[in-house]
């Protein structure tokens, strides 16, 4: 089985916005605001009842965006995500059954881990890019530096507790391909339709290139 590599998706994209979308009508203007600011790779989390509809709305309206589904926790989520138009999948953690389903998915997947043992198990399956979550709570930059020794071929997308204050430290690591963060789309800004503010935040985040 050949596992699809997600790393090419992140070319030139230092930050992946992690979005919890409450209202479907916010999905397209939010994604457009982020793309206008230079962040075209977008993760919609499966934390609301609107997540699949939000992915579909973005995929249909903004072909220039690369929208994926995050917080995938069950194999059954995968087929629904593909049907909605998700271009990649992200899990917060990866039990064996989910790892197998993600490995067989028709789109790239970034399975989640928080320990070296979990990372090794996923590497044995053939995954080369993993989500490190929750990054700050699990050791942050220090963990990633330590992991580079025994896991030199693995790359990571750390998410959780990352913002403009510490993003550059993560992106400076050679085993980090991108970081995930929700700070670029504050809930209060989305709630009032302040999408110009979100474009500004996206532009600042997009400037965090190596």
**How far is it, in rounded angstroms, from Cα 156 to Cα 165?**
19
Domain containing 62 — which CATH number?
Answer: 3.20.20.70
Q: Which is catalytic among the residues 43, 56, 87, 118?
A: 43
For residues 40 and 65, is the Cβ–Cβ distance under 8 A? yes
| 25 lies in some domain | yes
Q: Is residue 5 part of a domain?
A: no
Give the mean pLDDT of the chain. 97
Give the pLDDT score at 210. Answer: 54
- Domain extent for 122: 17-199
117 occurs within a structural domain: yes
1 belongs to a structural domain: no
Contact 93, 140 (CB under 8 A): no
Structural domains counted in the chain: 1
To the query of whether residue 43 is one of the catalytic residues in this protein, the response is yes
Identify whether the C-beta of residue 112 lies closer than 8 Å to the C-beta of residue 131.
Answer: yes
Counting residues of the chain whose pLDDT is more than 70, the rounded percentage is 99
pLDDT single digits (tens) 3-13: 999 999 988 89
Q: Is residue 11 part of a domain?
A: no
Handedness of CA 176, 178, 182, 183 (dihedral sign): positive
- Tell me if 12 is assigned to some domain: no
Q: What is the per-residue pLDDT across 19-76, written as a single tens digit (0 to 9) for each?
A: 999 999 999 999 999 999 999 999 999 999 999 999 999 999 999 999 999 999 999 9
Residue-level pLDDT at 1: 67
Per-residue pLDDT, 2 = 85
CA torsion through residues 57, 54, 88, 86, sign: negative
Q: Answer yes or no: is 209 within a domain.
A: no
- Candidates 56, 87, 118, 131; catalytic one: 131
């Amino acid at each position: 089985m050949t596992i699809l590599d997600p790393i090419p998706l992140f070319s030139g994209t230092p930050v992946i916005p992690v979005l919890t979308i409450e209202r479907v009508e916010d999905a397209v203007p939010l994604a457009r605001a982020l793309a206008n600011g230079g962040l075209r790779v977008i993760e919609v989390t499966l934390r609301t009842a609107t997540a699949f509809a939000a992915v579909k709305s973005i995929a249909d309206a903004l072909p220039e965006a690369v929208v994926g589904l995050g917080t995938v926790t069950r194999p059954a989520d995968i087929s629904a995500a593909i049907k909605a138009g998700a271009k990649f999948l992200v899990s917060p953690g990866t039990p064996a059954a989910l790892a197998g389903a993600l490995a067989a998915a028709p789109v790239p997947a970034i399975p989640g881990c928080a320990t070296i043992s979990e990372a090794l198990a996923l590497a044995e399956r053939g995954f080369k890019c993993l989500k490190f979550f929750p990054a700050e709570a699990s050791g942050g930059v220090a963990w990633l530096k330590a992991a580079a020794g025994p896991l030199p071929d693995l790359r990571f997308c750390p998410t959780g507790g990352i913002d403009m204050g510490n993003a550059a430290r993560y992106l400076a690591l050679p085993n980090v391909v991108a970081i995930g963060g929700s700070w670029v789309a504050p809930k209060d800004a989305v709630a009032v339709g302040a999408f110009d503010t979100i474009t500004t935040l996206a532009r600042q985040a997009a400037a965090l290139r190596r």
